[in-house]
Structure 1
Amino acid sequence: MKYINRYLHKKILVLGLAKSGVSAASLLHKLGAFVTVNDKKPLSENPEAQGLLEQGIKVICGDHPIELLDEGFELIVKNPGIPYYNPMIKGAIEKGIPVITEVELAYQISEAPFIGITGTNGKTTTTTLIYEMLNAGYKNPLIAGNIGTVASDVAQKAGEHNTIVIELSSFQLMGIDAFKPKVAILTNIYDAHLDYHGTKEEYINAKAMITKNQTEDDYFIYNADQEIVARIAESTRAKTIPFSTAQVLNDGIYVKDGAVFFNGEQIIHTSDIALPGEHNLENILSAVAAAKLAGVNNDAIFRVLNTFKGVKHRLQFVCELNGRKFYNDSKATNILATTKALAAFKEPVILLAGGLDRGNEFDELVPSLKNVKVLITFGQTAEKLERAGRMAGIKTILRVDNVESAVPQAYKQSEQGDVILLSPACASWDQYKTFEVRGDIFIEAVHKLK
């Protein structure tokens, strides 16, 4: 890591803990800053804060006292999940205190270049594919961000011979200043996180931040089939690499005659790709482009695509039981993700869906439900999803308490040849701490059927 002096003897507030806050506080302390940590969780229930206290870092827990902002802080590092309308953040901005996220710190100390991936859907699969391809090509990748380890932890261990492959959310990107990936990828943009951003325009602007600081020496890989994304590409200074599943591109990556081509060179036949789903083809195209830019050979790329079957909780095949195939797509936290999951199957589907109610209806999902023979709902959105199911003409619609009780009910309603799919179309927070917890409970319930 680079031992920078810019934070030496500076007063810095780390707002909100979780993994990124702990990492940021420890790193800033190591760099000689006077760090104060503020977290809403009481100290007695906060082992992370207790650990920082033992390092000699000042810790204030239990609430976010606005008067803290009068203590002369020169910088705030906020947890990405804290929105900008939070009174502490609004107050800091009014006082002219810079606010960043931990990703910016990681960039400032890193000796390794970054490949950054963002978008509404497909980030995790794309990030994982790139990591696997670079690894197969002996390019010494490290994986960071929303997937894997906190970026500033990874950056402290990375050297010039490494490449950090990082998944980036819009929340993280809103808090960057100088962060500049060598290769940036924008997979797609759809309506999401409007409760955090307020407007779609702000959400789009946050995603566009991934290429804000790029120069002519960098690369921007983008979805040429989406007008919103293509417009962002028009304003970047980086070299642009478009990808498309619908059109042949002269200087990009695309699908033609059942094969993937990069700048006119055939990479792999789509029939040799193990990862299911038309939507995953977009993820594959952007990942292959990034791997080629990193110097990975076609044999290594082929080996990964020929064997990689998906990421946990992302259309993950769990098992086959008495002719029924179970898939865990708990990461499908919006309508679009569930639409794409349903499009991956020609077999009859028993769909398990429901979760946090963000105020939207599910009319957009109706056309994708034509292959669904049974709909099983749970959570806050159960009634809304049942309405969509009736609109789609689904004859069997059942409501259960939770994911665990949905699984045996789904099996009871199923026949040989059916797909039983958890693809909730909603966030998990009404019943489960994370989508990972929700997915793990589904997997455990499936294995109990055995």
Structure 2
Amino acid sequence: MTTFIRALLGATAISLAVSPALAEKLTIATVNNGDMIRMQKLTDDFAAKNPDIELEWVTLEENVLRQRVTTDIATKGGQYDVMTIGTYEAPIWAKQGWLVALDDLGADYDVDDLLPAIRGGLTVDGKLYAAPFYGESSMVMYRKDLMEKAGLTMPDAPTWDFIKEAAAAMTDKGNEVYGICLRGKAGWGENMAFLSAMANSYGARWFDMDWKPQFDSEAWKATLTDYLDLMNNYGPPGASSNGFNENLALFQTGKCGMWIDATVAASFVTNPNDSQVAEHVGFALAPDKGLGKRGNWLWAWNLAIPAGSQKTEAAKKFIAWATSKEYLELVASKEGWANVPPGTRTSLYENANYLEAAPFAKMTLDSINAADPQKPTVDEVPYVGVQFVAIPEFQGIGTAVGQQFSAALAGTVSAEQALQNAQQTTERTMRRAGYIK
């Protein structure tokens, strides 16, 4: 072997040994929802376009994700380069200086195409601090075949009274069919997302204009009482452990007559590869109580960069890829238009291919546009947020209250005691934080 060839082979070996080490590794913390799992399967496309960036995934259950990323960013732990965060965290963390501004995601990113309702919740002082991966409100998903069998017709805009009537008529516990499935798992973003939105439609508030908790009000009593009646009489067993993923599985396997939850679930319950009842699913707006507000929320799961990351340019490349129009087209090419992440871009709801493939598209957009974070409930409130209160203390308060209401569903405390405990816990925290003098 000549000296030249030996040297060339040696150089090649060094190059092969070094190149993986030169790749910049991004650690991405995300939630274990279907759209996020799908994104991980499609990242070969990103890798092909960015061979110098390696992706490491940390995929967590919703409550655990929130706890981990909150701890990491507050302590400047630096474990993650990209975080999946919600509409609640984005403006609060941006104001704390904890997030990197995303005002330079590239000329072709088209930030003006983001839905105003979603973009507004992620913007502080005119700058975007998180890019929406998917946006959602909530709505009623129901079995048209069971509704017909019960001799009922679901209105496009049902009332809570109709929901109760339909739940009773569709329940067939002998065949493990439950009239309604709702979130029961404790968490400010689990059962309290649903219950806060439901409470809004009943005229309940988290706080009055003096920041005094309102769990001792008649409106909250009516909300919790009706929720427990629905679930205890017509819901599945063990519902206090059920969150989004658990109820999705129940609905897909034909166990639920109705499910009121995130609009993003629509593609999963109508996909015949995943859902045994795909051909029978209908959609309606979240219910109301005749007071002018519906029980629908406003949310987005977003990708953001913690200020402590040393890899911001690579992180921006990934976020721009994952939340782009091109990513929607990639999903459509692999999985069909009905399965693209919804609720983020105006252009998607002007796309004839999507509108034809997704019978739930208009209902999703109408629900997102109907939610008003500035005026979430019937009476005036001092806070912003539909199914959450946009103050730093809410994460702890919401989880504590959620535990009380989950315990009431499990039957370990009464509704009255749960409300009393929620009032005392929340009032104590608000006094300590200085909201109440």
Q: Which has the higher helix share?
A: 2
Q: Using structure 2 for the length normalisation, give the TM-score.
A: 0.23
Structure with the bigger RCO (C-alpha within 8 Å, sep 6+) is: 2
Give me the TM-score of the superposition, normalised by structure 1. Answer: 0.23
